[in-house]
Amino acid sequence: MVNLNAILDQFVSDCKIAPYGDGHINDTYLTSSRQFILQRINTKIFKDYEQLMNNIDGVTSFLKEKIKAAGGDPERETLTVIKTKDGKNFYKTEDGDVYRLYIYINDSVARSVVTDPVQLYHAGKAFGKFQFMLADYPAESLFEVIPDFHNTRKRFEALKEAIEKDIAGRKHLVEKEIEFALSQEHYIDTVVDGLASGEIPLRVTHNDTKINNVLFDKDTEEGICVIDLDTVMPGSLLYDFGDALRAGATTGAEDETDLSKVWFDIYAFKNFAKGFLEYTNASMTDREAELLPLSAKLLTYECGIRFLTDYLNGDTYFKIHREHHNLDRARNQFKLVEDMANKESEMMSIINQLRRK
Ligand code: ADP
Ligand code: GN1
Ligand code: MG
């Protein structure tokens, strides 16, 4: 049994801790004083955790300067990494587990499901502002934590490999889902090719703009702080826009199994786009704007095939809490993809209107 209190003591003298949040990747704990978040970094995924922590140090220090210059609170509007008592930004146990400590952002809420579309307006502003503030961050100084993270073609190839190998013997359970996944191939290269040709600008992006990776003020609903900075890397604005809609502009939870409850919410889309464009419209190119509707579908599709691949591989990547959890998630994302495809032109009209303002 790991002694988490002994690990916590390497950073600060505090009291007890308990599991917290519902991320799919790291193990997160809140201290009972509600001052700190202790996280066991998933080193199976983040193999080079030293470079990862250097990225986070670099990005948060940079953001803190900008926040201070704008008269904001640098300990509330971005993450603060607490060093160990001997000055390191992580602690490695004798068993090889790696932990980090952050200041807990008080009086905030993280939401896995949107309960009011206005929350998406605030999320849009928060992610748009994050992107805006990092526009002049030296991209070349960032270590590529997970290469090809949003390379949909490579994700597609990984799915095909998982189908072929059928390691977990589950292929026969998902013939319909496989058929759907393979039928979407015609648009999967759009962003990757656009980046490669220079048609789409490379920017510093968050890359995991899931709705519970922004903390909202518990009273005002404002988006206070963008968290989960593990995947900050050079990428496309379309990744951040699309992934946020995948997770936020839906009428059901990501693992809702009653698919009659899962729809793409165009009103939530409008709210998010409005907030996001407040910060990004001026620097956004016409090509990026034109691809915003597709990005929602593309990133939702990509996440869906990642869930399906993990299901076929025997659930080795995402945390699961029940037997067919990854399959439930994949089906849910594919339902959204279908609905988004029907609403692409409606999305485009909304973007065109917002761009003109
Ligand atoms: P994962 O990579 O597993 O998703 P996150 O860094 O997103 O891990 O953390 C998981 C959850 O813990 C978040 O969704 C949020 O609810 C909570 N959380 C993480 N860091 C903080 C923080 N500094 N302050 C408040 N809540 C936090
Ligand atoms: C993971 O870490 P978390 O739970 O915020 C994943 C995202 C997926 C998301 C799907 C590093 O996000 O890419 O979109 O699950 N993060 C990583 O819910 O793979
Ligand atoms: Mg997270």
> 84 pLDDT band (50/70/90 cuts)?
very high
Residue by residue, what is the 3-state secondary structure of the chain?
A: CCCHHHHHHHHCCCCCEEECCCCCCCEEEEECCCCEEEEEECCCCCCCHHHHHHHHHHHHHHHHHHHHHCCCCCCCCCCCEECCCCCCCCEECCCCCEEEEEECCCCEECCCCCCCCHHHHHHHHHHHHHHHHCCCCCHHHCCCCCCCCCCHHHHHHHHHHHHHHCCCCCHHHCHHHHHHHHHCHHHCCHHHHHHHHCCCCCEEECCCCCHHHEEEECCCCCEEEECCHHHCEEECHHHHHHHHHHHHCECCCCCCCCHHHCCECHHHHHHHHHHHHHHHCCCCCHHHHHHHHHHHHHHHHHHHHHHHHHHHCCCCCCCCCCCCHHHHHHHHHHHHHHHHHHCHHHHHHHHHHHHHC
Q: What is the mean pLDDT of residues 132-161?
A: 97
Q: Which fold has domain 4-106?
A: Phosphorylase Kinase; domain 1 (3.30.200)
pLDDT of residue 6: 86
**Mean pLDDT score across all residues of the chain:** 96
Single pTM value for the model: 0.96
Give, in order, the Cα–Cα distances in Å from 302 to each of 141, 314, 328.
27, 18, 15
Q: Which ligand is nearest to the CA of 28?
A: 1
- Cα dihedral sign, 350-275-222-38: positive
- pLDDT per residue as tens digits for the range 86-109: 999 999 999 999 999 999 999 999
Report pLDDT for 173.
98
State if residue 228 touches ligand 1 by the CB under 6 angstroms criterion: yes
Domain positions in the chain are 4-106, 117-356
15 pLDDT above the threshold of 80: no
The radius of gyration of the chain from alpha carbons, rounded to an integer in Å, stands at 20
- Asked whether residue 14 carries a pLDDT value surpassing 70, the answer given is no
What is the model's pLDDT at position 17? 86
pLDDT tens sequence across 255-295: 999 999 999 999 999 999 999 999 999 999 999 999 999 99
User: pLDDT class for 1, splitting at 50, 70, 90?
Assistant: low
Are the CB atoms for 254 and 235 separated by under 8 Å?
no
Q: Is the CB of 227 under 6 A from ligand 1?
A: yes
pLDDT of residue 131: 96
pLDDT score of 90: 98
Cβ neighbours, 10 Å, residue 281: 16
Instruction: Give the closest ligand to the alpha carbon of residue 21.
Output: 1
Q: Which of 146, 137, 156 is nearest to 65 (CA)?
A: 137
Assigned token pair, 205: 């992006």
Residues 6 or more apart from 46 whose CB is under 8 A from it?
Answer: 52, 145, 146, 230
- Given a cut of 80, is residue 357 above it in pLDDT? no
Could you report the per-residue pLDDT of 299-346, keeping only the tens digit for each?
999 999 999 999 999 999 999 999 999 999 999 999 999 999 999 999
Amino acid 125: pLDDT: 98
Is the pLDDT at 171 greater than 70, yes or no?
yes
Query: Which amino acid is located at 234 in the chain?
Result: P
Predicted confidence at residue 89, as pLDDT, reads 97
Query: Is CATH 3.90.1200.10 the classification given to domain 117-356?
Result: yes
Distance 257 CA to ligand 1 centre (A): 25
pLDDT of residue 170: 98
Measure the CA angle with vertex 277, ends 216 and 61; round to 5°: 55
Dist. CA 94 → ligand 1 center (Å): 25
**Phi, psi torsion values for 85, nearest 5 degrees:** -65, -25
Per-residue model confidence as pLDDT tens digits over 56-74: 999 999 999 999 999 999 9
Dihedral in degrees, nearest 10, Cα atoms 296, 156, 254, 327: 150
Can you tell me the distance from the alpha carbon of 78 to that of 72, in angstroms, rounded to the nearest whole number? 10
Report the pLDDT averaged over residues 101-120: 94
Question: Percentage of the chain with pLDDT > 70?
Answer: 99
Pocket flag, ligand 1, residue 28 (CB < 6 Å)? yes
Per-residue pLDDT tens over the stretch 333-348: 999 999 999 999 999 9
CA distance 175 to 170: 9
Does residue 16 surpass a pLDDT of 90?
no
55 lines ligand 2 (CB under 6 A): no
Report pLDDT digits (tens) over 225-259: 999 999 999 999 999 999 999 999 999 999 999 99
Q: Are 303 and 296 in contact (CB under 8 A)?
A: no
Ligand nearest to the CA of 247: 2
Task: Return the bridge partners of 82, or none.
Answer: 101
Ligand 2: does its nearest atom lie under 6 Å from the Cβ of 24? yes
Q: Is the pLDDT of residue 202 over 70?
A: yes
Q: Which residue has the tokens 């000055």?
A: 87
